Amino acid sequence: MRSLHQYSAYIFDLDGTIYLGSDPIEGAVETIKRLQSLGKKLLFLTNKTIDSREAYLRKLNGFGLSITLDEILNPALVTIHYLKRHHPGDKAYVIGEDILKDELKDNGIAFADSPDETGVVVISWDRNFHYDHLDFAYQAIKRGASVIATHPDRTCPMPGGEIPDCGAMIGAIEGASGIKVEVVMGKPSSLTTETALDLLKVDAKDCLMTGDRLETDIRMGQQAGMGTALVLTGVTGADDWLGSDVRPTYVLQSVWEIGQAG
């Protein structure tokens, strides 16, 4: 097994890995600074769509870090690239919050006003999700619209406990339509893996994926052939991984252990 400090590049999940809510997890800032001092390539990868990349940048640098926008990847970017490649000219119906919608619009994605003109339904996390969203999406899918989702997370870790995430919206659409949403942008999708490795310009074997979720963070890294580090500061508990088919390369109490390696 390689030492934790022997990788060329490090991909970090954010919520539950680098911070919880508005506070950094103990040792996370020091770890990032240590890796930067060693000349390692870094990428911060989130499945959340309720904040912009610029907001993540401000948050991380507000902890005293020096991160650039190119080091942050979110599902919105992957979704934009996918829509332009696979649905050129199609109008989209987007279940999601204004930050995601604005980013899609700013990148030339046209929005549908009725189910009849909808070419693709985009499901994302929407904390104001309601019946009208469900009905519009159902009617569009019944008329032949494709359906994709920005990320699969069932819940999001918060300081007071987990709250429902995009997976809840996906479940509602699947329940109404009777179809399974097969195309998902965020972790563990290979679409996100390809984008991340392209940004880092490294081979998968030279990259360590670190996160708090077995089914997204660790599964993505495992499927890509990366090293994987599960941290126990977010969703996954100390014994949760033992019976899982997703086996991390390392199990760490927190990212602090990566900074202490070597």
pLDDT at 1 over 80: no
Q: What is the DSSP letter of 92?
A: E
pLDDT bracket for residue 98 (50, 70, 90): very high
* Whole-number percent of the chain with pLDDT over 90: 78
Give pLDDT, residue 167. Answer: 95
Give pLDDT, residue 255. Answer: 96
Is 138 in contact with 173 (CB distance < 8 Å)? yes
**Rounded Cα–Cα distance for residues 100 and 185 (Å):** 13
Query: Distance of CA 41 to CAs 88, 200, 216, Å?
Result: 33, 7, 21
pLDDT bracket for residue 58 (50, 70, 90): very high
Give pLDDT, residue 233. Answer: 94
Q: What is the pLDDT of residues 251-260, one digit of tens each?
A: 999 999 998 8
Rounded average pLDDT over 132-138: 98
Sequence-distant (6+) residues with CB within 8 A of 132 are none
Give pLDDT, residue 160. Answer: 84
Domains and their CATH numbers in the chain: 9-47+187-260 (3.40.50.1000), 76-184 (3.40.50.1000)
**Rounded Cα–Cα distance for residues 121 and 9 (Å):** 35
Greater confidence (17 vs 51) lies with 17
Q: Whole-structure pTM over 0.85, yes or no?
A: no
Q: What is the pLDDT of residues 79-93, one digit of tens each?
A: 998 999 999 999 999
pLDDT bracket for residue 262 (50, 70, 90): low
134 residue type, one letter: L
Rounded average pLDDT over 167-183: 97
User: Residue 15's beta-bridge partner residues?
Assistant: 19
- The mean predicted confidence, pLDDT, of the chain is 93
**Rounded Cα–Cα distance for residues 227 and 220 (Å):** 10
Rounded average pLDDT over 214-231: 95
